[in-house]
């Protein structure tokens, strides 16, 4: 089988398949800007985004989650690999091979929402212009009346008052601005929405409104979400499946509940343990506090990139890069981890953390 | 009040006692009552959390204590009593640039911020800055100050203090900068440390390191901490008592156990219900309806009444709810628990 045919094979439920995706940034130095190294921001990533699901990419800063989302919509061109996108029963298209003009249709169907609604909305444009702009560019409206009607409909969809469409973003709070950004993202009736830290800048009471709104819109419109985030509790609430990234690679991917209650990678275990929980009873629990900091993607340690911070690391981890392999999920659900000792380690998830506390206090 | 009053008489053993603090901001659009009558005490060695969403006045409260408010912000009422050895000083009425406050700032009360890069000068080594702070407040030789600085860097877990002391902040990673900032703030062994969102800009694993560091160093040095954050997880993890604020007012106040397990104010309940939980199974979240009102057009009566699910018509929009004690040391400002007698 040639590389092309193998790569063009998509899982039948997948709407986007990322295959061997690589994004390297050169490190240049000196007067002649000679390349002295490379930042491996995304390093051989493989995953499927299934139609109608919410897949979360979680990880700390520098893990490559945002670069991955940029490579999917070709805002940054990947160094290697494929991003296959399929609409309905049509032939999958490889977005990495397409010219700018050819990407228009794909980009109409894959839209983004960004973190900061204060910088992502043009302050000199009214809501009508902000939300209507994609409709005009893609020639999806015939007249000004048609445009106003569509924008009013979109504002109602995100629970904003359509009579505000001639106002400017400064008149709105953070949560309302994020609704405007969502309305703009949905204006072209996309299939996929990539939400890059879409609720991270919001206050908790408003964050909850937006999380619930995203869920309602997904049910109503049959959207598929790629949810890029660092907050594990938010991801637990929002996602069906979770991919945990570390230093440009997926270290674990599986169904949300299985991954949180039964993590199979030590990094996932540590992330779960470190997430603060608003319950003072958990104050005295044994926390796994990782030493050191996230691996520098410009200067990765040999072997497993996580080994310098891993409390289970052995010699093999310093030498061999672990593959992302199936570790056996519940009821045949796929659950993969990239750890040499995924099968032998007894790791603690959220249920375990709570049970262990009860055991201690009893 | 008499500045030379013996300790304990007025302060009841508190290190800091904030009483009816009012800090307003004046601008062309009007007056913003950023802090509108807030009172709390903190005892030596205690960890108090102040929590609330943007605009609730938690940061302005801390800036008022240290008198480092932006130029258009003014303390217009109330007292900030600080017990400095055997003297009680009202920080609210002292000259913000005067000797008394300059002696207290950095020495008796220190602060750490969200963004460590803003706390340090980029053109001096971290050692120079820590040594400068020590030498301003203590009469020690350069060598002694140097040794103290190295010792403090070691305590906050810098990997190689003797070398790190000569580094510039841009050479340090985010987590190391945070540690250096803690070392700088603790270099004079303050009695009170104010931490304003110190873990908001960092990753969870670094946040866990930071919380562990604050806990250890508090146990070690025994200073009191005021932890200001919007993250109720951080509050639950670190503090003994918590004050919840909304639009410049205190809404609820008590031990973390009381406030998190038996929340009384509808706003506190709403906040807790809107946070996704790290618990097994499906746990629904319920947002608080509506948006935080415009600070130039604050609601009358209880500030929360426009979003409150338990709104009592004819009461909540008319009167300011007084603080009511619902259990020992657990206070709530809400008419559900009394205070509406005055109306009838």
State residue B116's pLDDT score.
77
Q: How far is CA B8 from CA B13, B14, B15, B85, B249, in A?
A: 5, 7, 9, 11, 27
Alpha-helix residue ranges (DSSP H) falling in chain B:
58-66, 99-104, 116-119, 126-137, 142-155, 161-164, 174-186, 204-221, 232-238, 256-261, 266-273
Closest residue in chain A to residue B256, using alpha carbons only: A280
Q: Does B234 touch chain A (CB under 8 A)?
A: yes
- A61 to chain B, closest Cα gap in Å: 7
Global pTM reads 0.89
Residue B330: band (very low, low, confident or very high) from pLDDT cuts 50, 70, 90: very high
Helices and strands (H, E) in chain B, number of each type: 11, 12
| B278·A230 Cβ contact <8 A | no
Q: Which of A66, A280, A290, A293 to mutate to test the interface with B (most CBs of B within 10 A)?
A: A280
- A84 to chain B, closest Cα gap in Å: 31
- Transcribe A252-304 into DSSP letters: EEEEHHHHHHS--SHHHHHHHHHS--S-GGGGGSPP----S----TTSPPSSS
State residue B115's pLDDT score.
80
What pLDDT, in 10s, does the model give residues A75-110?
A: 999 999 999 999 888 889 999 999 988 898 899 999
What pLDDT, in 10s, does the model give residues B299-308?
A: 999 999 999 9
pLDDT over threshold 90, residue A111: yes
- Strands B109-112 and B192-196 come out as parallel
B82 within domain boundaries: no
How is residue B105 annotated by DSSP? B
Q: What is the 3-state secondary structure (H, E, C) of B43-54?
A: CCCCEEEEECCC
| A208·B288 Cβ contact <8 A | yes
B312 within domain boundaries: yes
| A274·B261 Cβ contact <8 A | no
Q: What is the ipTM of this complex?
A: 0.86
Provide CB contacts within 8 A for A285, sequence distance 6+: A353, A356, A357
Q: Does A138 touch chain B (CB under 8 A)?
A: no
What pLDDT, in 10s, does the model give residues B11-55?
A: 778 999 999 999 999 999 899 999 999 999 999 999 999 999 988
Provide CB contacts within 8 A for A348, sequence distance 6+: A263, A269, A272, A273, A356
Contact A336, A254 (CB under 8 A): yes
Higher pLDDT pick, B155 / B12: B155
**Cα(A176)–Cα(A169) distance, rounded to whole angstroms?**
9
pLDDT over threshold 70, residue A140: yes
Closest residue in chain A to residue B257, using alpha carbons only: A280
**Cα(A275)–Cα(B208) distance, rounded to whole angstroms?**
8
State residue A1's pLDDT score.
41
Q: How far is CA B266 from CA A287, B36, B305, in A?
A: 32, 20, 10
| DSSP-assigned beta bridge partners for residue B30 | B27
Cross-chain CB nearest to B205 (options A176, A279, A290)? A290
Q: Does A290 touch chain B (CB under 8 A)?
A: yes
**Cα(A304)–Cα(A324) distance, rounded to whole angstroms?**
11
What pLDDT, in 10s, does the model give residues B111-137?
A: 998 887 778 899 999 999 999 999 999
**Cα(A342)–Cα(A310) distance, rounded to whole angstroms?**
13
What pLDDT, in 10s, does the model give residues A263-303?
A: 999 999 999 999 888 888 877 777 888 888 888 888 889 99
B300 within domain boundaries: yes
Question: What domain count does chain B have?
Answer: 1
Q: Which of B269, B273, B278 to mutate to test the interface with A (most CBs of A within 10 A)?
A: B278
- A204 to chain B, closest Cα gap in Å: 6
What pLDDT, in 10s, does the model give residues B92-118?
A: 999 999 999 999 998 999 999 888 777
B191 within domain boundaries: no
**Cα(A207)–Cα(A236) distance, rounded to whole angstroms?**
14
Cross-chain CB nearest to A237 (options B236, B260, B285)? B285
**Cα(B97)–Cα(B116) distance, rounded to whole angstroms?**
24
pLDDT over threshold 70, residue A4: no
Contact A232, B277 (CB under 8 A): no
Residue A319: band (very low, low, confident or very high) from pLDDT cuts 50, 70, 90: very high
Question: What average pLDDT does the segment A316-343 reach?
Answer: 88
B320 within domain boundaries: yes
Q: Which residue range is the domain that position B325 belongs to? A: 270-343
Contact A76, A261 (CB under 8 A): no
**Cα(B224)–Cα(A213) distance, rounded to whole angstroms?**
41
Provide, as residue numbers in chain A, all residues whose Cβ is less than 8 Å from the Cβ of B251. none
pLDDT over threshold 50, residue A112: yes
B294 within domain boundaries: yes
Residue A50: band (very low, low, confident or very high) from pLDDT cuts 50, 70, 90: very high
Q: Which of A35-39, B143-147, B220-224, B310-314 shows the lowest mean pLDDT across its residues?
A: A35-39
Greatest mean pLDDT range, A170-174, B19-23, B278-282: B19-23
**Average pLDDT value for chain A:** 90
Q: Which of A237, A278, A298, A358 to mutate to test the interface with B (most CBs of B within 10 A)?
A: A278
B142 within domain boundaries: no
State residue B200's pLDDT score.
80
pLDDT over threshold 70, residue A6: no
In degrees and rounded to multiples of 5, residue A192 shows phi and psi of -125, 135
Q: Does B211 touch chain A (CB under 8 A)?
A: yes
Q: Which of A182-191, A227-236, A307-316, B288-297 shows the lowest mean pLDDT across its residues?
A: B288-297
How is residue A310 annotated by DSSP? -
Provide, as residue numbers in chain A, all residues whose Cβ is less than 8 Å from the Cβ of B53. 203-206
- A255 to chain B, closest Cα gap in Å: 12
Q: With a CB-CB cutoff of 8 Å, which residues 139-198 of chain B face chain A? A: 173-176
Contact A104, A138 (CB under 8 A): yes
Cross-chain CB nearest to B291 (options A176, A208, A349)? A176
Q: Is B335 helix (H, G, I), strand (E, B) or coil?
A: helix
B301 within domain boundaries: yes
pLDDT over threshold 50, residue A3: no
| A237·B283 Cβ contact <8 A | yes
- A285 to chain B, closest Cα gap in Å: 10
Q: Does B327 touch chain A (CB under 8 A)?
A: no
**Cα(A37)–Cα(A59) distance, rounded to whole angstroms?**
24
- Strands A93-94 and A54-58 come out as unpaired
State residue B9's pLDDT score.
53
Q: Which of A208, A286, A294 to mutate to test the interface with B (most CBs of B within 10 A)?
A: A208
Provide CB contacts within 8 A for B198, sequence distance 6+: B112, B113, B114, B178, B181, B210, B214
State residue B335's pLDDT score.
94
Residue position matching structure tokens 């998190």: B260
**Cα(A331)–Cα(A329) distance, rounded to whole angstroms?**
6
């Amino acid at each position: 089988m040639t590389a092309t045919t193998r790569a063009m094979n998509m899982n039948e439920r997948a709407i986007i398949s990322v295959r061997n995706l690589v994004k390297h940034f050169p490190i240049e130095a000196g007067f002649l800007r000679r390349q002295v190294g490379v930042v491996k921001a995304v390093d051989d990533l493989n995953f499927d985004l299934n139609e109608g699901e919410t897949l979360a990419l979680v990880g700390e800063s520098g893990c490559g989650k945002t670069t991955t989302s940029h490579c999917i919509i070709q805002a940054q061109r990947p160094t290697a690999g494929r991003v296959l996108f399929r609409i309905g029963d049509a032939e999958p298209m490889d977005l990495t091979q397409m010219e700018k003009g050819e990407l228009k249709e794909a980009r109409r169907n894959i839209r983004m929402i960004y973190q900061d609604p204060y910088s992502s909305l043009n302050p000199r444009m009214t809501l009508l212009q902000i939300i209507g702009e994609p409709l005009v560019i893609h020639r999806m409206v015939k007249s000004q009346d048609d445009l106003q009607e569509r924008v009013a409909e979109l504002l109602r969809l995100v629970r904003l008052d359509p009579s505000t469409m001639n106002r400017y973003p400064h008149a709105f709070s953070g949560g309302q601005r994020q609704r405007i950004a969502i309305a703009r993202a949905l204006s072209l009736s996309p299939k996929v929405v990539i939400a890059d830290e879409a609720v991270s800048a919001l206050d908790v009471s408003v964050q909850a409104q937006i999380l619930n709104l995203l869920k309602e819109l997904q049910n109503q419109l049959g959207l598929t979400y790629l949810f890029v985030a660092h907050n594990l509790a938010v991801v637990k609430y929002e996602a069906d499946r979770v991919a945990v990234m570390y230093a440009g690679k997926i270290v674990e991917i599986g169904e949300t509940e299985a991954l949180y209650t039964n993590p199979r990678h030590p990094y996932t275990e540590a992330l779960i343990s470190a997430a603060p929980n608003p319950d003072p009873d958990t104050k005295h629990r044994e926390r796994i506090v990782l030493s050191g900091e996230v691996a520098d993607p410009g200067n990765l340690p040999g072997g497993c990139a996580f080994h310098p911070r891993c409390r289970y690391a052995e010699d093999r981890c310093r030498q061999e890069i672990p593959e992302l392999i199936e570790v056996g999920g519940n009821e045949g659900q796929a659950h993969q981890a990239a750890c040499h000792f995924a099968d032998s380690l007894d790791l603690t998830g959220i249920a375990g953390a709570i049970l262990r506390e009860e055991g201690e206090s009893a | 009040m008499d500045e030379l009053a013996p300790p304990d008489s007025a302060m009841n053993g508190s290190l800091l006692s904030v009483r009816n603090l009012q800090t307003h901001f004046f601008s062309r659009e009007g007056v913003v009552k950023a802090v509108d009558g807030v009172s709390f005490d903190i005892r030596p060695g205690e960890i108090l959390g102040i929590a609330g969403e943007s605009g609730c006045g938690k940061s302005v409260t801390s800036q008022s204590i240290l008198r480092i408010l932006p130029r258009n912000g003014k303390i217009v009422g109330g007292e900030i009593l600080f017990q400095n050895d055997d003297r009680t000083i009202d920080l609210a009425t002292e000259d913000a640039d005067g000797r008394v406050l300059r002696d207290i700032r950095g020495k008796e009360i220190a602060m750490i911020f969200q963004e460590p890069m803003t706390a340090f000068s980029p053109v001096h080594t971290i050692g120079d800055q820590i040594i400068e702070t020590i030498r301003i407040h203590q009469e020690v030789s350069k060598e002694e100050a140097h040794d103290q600085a190295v010792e403090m860097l070691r305590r906050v877990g810098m990997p190689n203090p003797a070398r790190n002391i000569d580094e510039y902040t841009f050479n340090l990673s985010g987590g190391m900068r945070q540690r250096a900032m803690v070392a700088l703030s603790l270099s004079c062994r303050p009695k009170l440390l104010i931490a304003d969102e110190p873990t908001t800009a960092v990753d969870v694993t670094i946040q866990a390191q930071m919380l562990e560091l604050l806990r250890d160093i508090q146990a070690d040095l025994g200073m009191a901490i005021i932890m200001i954050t919007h993250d109720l997880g951080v509050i639950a993890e670190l503090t003994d008592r918590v004050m919840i604020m909304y639009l410049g007012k205190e809404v609820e106040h008590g031990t973390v156990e009381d406030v998190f397990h038996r929340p009384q104010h509808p706003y506190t309940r709403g906040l807790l219900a809107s946070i996704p939980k790290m618990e097994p199974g499906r746990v629904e979240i319920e947002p608080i309806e509506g948006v935080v009102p415009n600070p130039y057009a604050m609601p009358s009566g209880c500030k929360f009444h426009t979003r409150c699910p338990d709104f009592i018509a004819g009461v909540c929009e008319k009167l300011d709810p007084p603080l009511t004690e619902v259990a020992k040391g657990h206070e709530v400002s809400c008419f559900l628990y009394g205070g509406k007698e005055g109306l009838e």
